[in-house]
């Protein structure tokens, strides 16, 4: 069995879908691994590192995918890569079909079994495969680091002979995996941290990290059965907007992480709110690729509006590509080794497993995922 690891071609994508450690593990299962030339450069992994682990280095994507049974990717493949993929192969990655729905037809044309790991069910058995958690965790950390680097003042309280420097105030909007890591990172740096989320259930987690939980007095919950945030009523949104507006006036650093799967990011910070923020404050909008939690955010740009710096990086995990690749490669190995490969080292997919049915987009030329039929 051959596993192919393609180089990521999307601008700014430095991660890679396999590391020397995961290559060794695939080899132990009886698989041969082909890695496209310089696929790991952005993550600090040379071709020699892969060869030392037992991989073969392919000169280009065509040679890499030729005869492949499983193709590993970080992001959705480019269309030129699609044309090179063997018919009937298994494609595994963060394929983001909401943004790349046009590729479903291409998958079907090649009769690929395409697995999008963002759709893994939130059950304990899937935790070691959870790509969203591993990548969001790093995104939350990096968001705070970037915010602090652009902030013109120190973050922790400092008591000096010349006087006391007051600590910076940080607000995190959305207390999922990225938000909780942002809270923890800001606290470690000495900021006074507050957090908001539509899901009251996360209050205990926020407070356990030493942050203040800001909540709207309402009877409705913002949590779906799967544990994700959902869209709220107009009345709730009005109260939410008033609360966030007042809170923002006192903040120095703001990390926005609020997303609704399959929909544009909710607008949490309006232009009027930005106008009322302190000059020199910083907003890092992790929802930039989905429209942004602030409409003033510009994708993959740092801009200053009304004296406030807005950061709109669309791929924050790639800004920590070394660790992001290590974690992602482990997630992929756990998925592939558990669900796609048998003990004899051959393909052995349990098509009825809920982790398979939850992530499978296309198979045998048909779109099979319930969200895209």
Residues with catalytic function: 122, 127, 130, 133, 228
Distance CA 219, CA 178 (A): 26
- Give every CB contact of residue 262 below 8 A, 6+ residues apart in sequence: 98, 371
N-terminal to C-terminal alpha carbon distance within the chain:
31
């Amino acid at each position: 069995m051959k596993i192919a690891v393609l180089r990521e071609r999307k601008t700014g994508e430095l991660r890679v879908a396999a590391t020397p450690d995961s290559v060794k593990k695939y080899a132990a299962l009886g698989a041969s691994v082909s890695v496209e030339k310089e696929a790991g450069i952005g993550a600090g992994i040379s071709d020699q590192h892969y060869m030392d682990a037992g991989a073969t280095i392919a000169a280009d994507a065509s040679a890499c995918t030729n005869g492949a049974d499983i193709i590993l990717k970080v992001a959705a493949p480019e269309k030129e890569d699609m044309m090179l993929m063997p018919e009937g192969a298994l494609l595994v990655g963060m394929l983001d079909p909401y943004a790349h729905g046009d590729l479903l037809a291409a998958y079907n044309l090649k009769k690929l079994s395409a697995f999008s790991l963002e759709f893994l069910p939130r059950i304990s058995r899937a935790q070691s495969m959870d790509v969203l958690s591993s990548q969001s965790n790093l995104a939350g950390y990096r968001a705070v680091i970037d915010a602090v680097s652009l902030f013109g003042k120190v973050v922790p309280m400092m008591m000096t002979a010349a006087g006391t420097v007051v600590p910076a105030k940080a607000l995190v909007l959305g207390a999922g995996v990225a938000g909780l890591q942002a809270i923890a990172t800001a606290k470690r740096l000495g900021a006074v941290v507050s957090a908001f989320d539509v899901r009251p259930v996360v209050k205990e987690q926020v407070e356990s990290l030493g942050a203040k939980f800001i909540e709207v007095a309402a009877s409705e919950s913002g949590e779906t059965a799967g544990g994700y945030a959902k869209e709220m009523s107009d009345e709730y949104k009005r109260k939410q907007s008033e609360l966030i507006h007042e809170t923002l006036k006192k903040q120095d650093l703001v990390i926005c992480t609020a997303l609704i799967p399959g929909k544009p990011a909710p607008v949490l910070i309006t232009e009027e709110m930005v106008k009322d923020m302190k000059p020199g404050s910083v907003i890092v909008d992790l929802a930039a690729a989905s429209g942004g939690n602030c409409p003033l955010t510009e994708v993959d740009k740092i801009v200053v509006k009304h004296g406030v710096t807005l950061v709109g990086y669309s791929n924050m995990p790639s800004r920590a590509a070394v660790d992001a690749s290590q974690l992602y490669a482990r997630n992929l190995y756990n998925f592939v080794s558990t669900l796609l490969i048998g003990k004899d080292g051959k393909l052995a997919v349990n098509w009825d497993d809920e982790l398979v049915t939850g992530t499978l987009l296309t198979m045998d030329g048909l779109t099979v995922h319930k969200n895209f039929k």
